[in-house]
Structure 1
Amino acid sequence: MTNYKKILVAIDIHAQYEQVINKALTICNSKDDLNLVYVPLPITYISPYLYGVDYSDIDDSERVNKSHEELKSIGRKFGIDESRVHFKVGEAADEIQNIANEIHADLIVIGTHGRSGLKLLLGSTANSVLHGVKQDVLAVRIKE
């Protein structure tokens, strides 16, 4: 059996997350060991590139609410209790690191496409997570 007692599984609900969750399920002793997280970027993330744009009229709540509901649905599908499903809008690597620390995770499982250049080994989010955490990180190569 594994020594990992609390595993944080970071997914992208718009990508092939099944492979990442299934890999985490093979490592854990129980589904109760798993926590699920998804971190979408805020709609205003591009603001530095669109100087002078007024964001006061932008309402991103519908997209955020739909994403949160989708994440909860994915958790139910894999038997992960809603209390262990985490959703935070922000910079993915930072929020994954914060949640891993808050829940005292000892392993982070994250998917990677590894498409080109430095990203050949790890995706940009996976790479950023890896270099900023004290936990072990398992990067699951997503097969297209």
Structure 2
Amino acid sequence: MTSLYQHVAVAVDLTDESRYVIDRALPIVQRSGAKLSVVHTLGEVSATYGGDVAVDVDTLRQQLTDHASARLKELAEPYGIGSAQLHILSGQADAAINAFATQHQADLIVVGSHGRTGLALMLGSTSAEVLRNAKCDVLAVKVRGAEQEPVD
């Protein structure tokens, strides 16, 4: 019998809620024996990032990448997730996540969702856009805040 999923991509935003998303994904990975990738997306950095202040875009981009990489490793370490499984993407989050999943043949994307309502729902969130444009299954994990208990 073949496993339902071969490669699970878990998209995190580096907040404490990211642990809850990882907690939800790991049992699926463990049961299926799937490859795991944990991804975080940095938005594009432009010369207008600093407003009226002159900004060295390359230096700023590197600093943001270094910070995100350190935070991603910090999140992954308690789970024993190695650095080869951690990926920093750039661009618009939903497009970058879906592109990663396609390029790396992920067949499940796990993403946190705040379950927004009203105007935020009409405009769409990252998780809604990932779901709308994904070429594979998407599991949207409802996150409410850092007070959530980890999954056993």
Q: Which runs of structure 2 are paired with 1:126-137 in the superposition (5 Å)? A: 126-137=127-138
| Map of 1:69 onto structure 2 | 70
1:38 is aligned to 2:37? no
Q: Which runs of structure 2 are paired with 1:9-28 in the superposition (5 Å)? A: 9-28=10-29
Question: For the structure 1 residues 30 and 74, does the alpha-carbon distance in structure 2 shift closer, same or farther, using more than 3 Å as the test?
Answer: farther
- The Cα shift of 1:16 comes to 0.7
Would you identify which runs of 4 or more consecutive aligned residues in structure 1 move more than 4 Å? 53-56, 118-121
For 1:17 and 1:45, how far apart are their aligned partners in 2?
30
In 2, are the aligned partners of 1:44 and 1:55 still within 8 Å (CA)? no
In 1, are the aligned partners of 2:8 and 2:37 still within 8 Å (CA)? yes
Amino acid across the alignment from 2:133: G
TM-score between the two structures when normalised by the length of structure 1: 0.81
For 2:26 and 2:135, how far apart are their aligned partners in 1?
22
| Most deviating of 131-140 and 36-45 | 36-45
Q: Which runs of 5+ in 2 are unaligned?
A: 146-152
In 1, are the aligned partners of 2:17 and 2:143 still within 8 Å (CA)? yes
Give SS of 1:14's match: coil
In 2, are the aligned partners of 1:7 and 1:34 still within 8 Å (CA)? yes
Question: For the structure 1 residues 65 and 4, does the alpha-carbon distance in structure 2 shift closer, same or farther, using more than 3 Å as the test?
Answer: same
Give SS of 2:112's match: strand
1:41-73 deviation per Cα after TM superposition (whole angstroms, max 9, x unaligned): 1333976xx7xx686534312222111121123
For 1:45 and 1:142, how far apart are their aligned partners in 2?
34
- The Cα shift of 1:26 comes to 1.9
Give SS of 1:104's match: coil
Question: For the structure 1 residues 100 and 46, does the alpha-carbon distance in structure 2 shift closer, same or farther, using more than 3 Å as the test?
Answer: farther
1:57 is aligned to 2:56? yes
Count of residues in correspondence between the two structures? 140
1:82 is aligned to 2:83? yes
- Paired-residue identity, %: 32
Question: For the structure 1 residues 83 and 105, does the alpha-carbon distance in structure 2 shift closer, same or farther, using more than 3 Å as the test?
Answer: same
| Map of 1:124 onto structure 2 | 125
For 2:33 and 2:11, how far apart are their aligned partners in 1?
15
In 2, are the aligned partners of 1:25 and 1:31 still within 8 Å (CA)? no
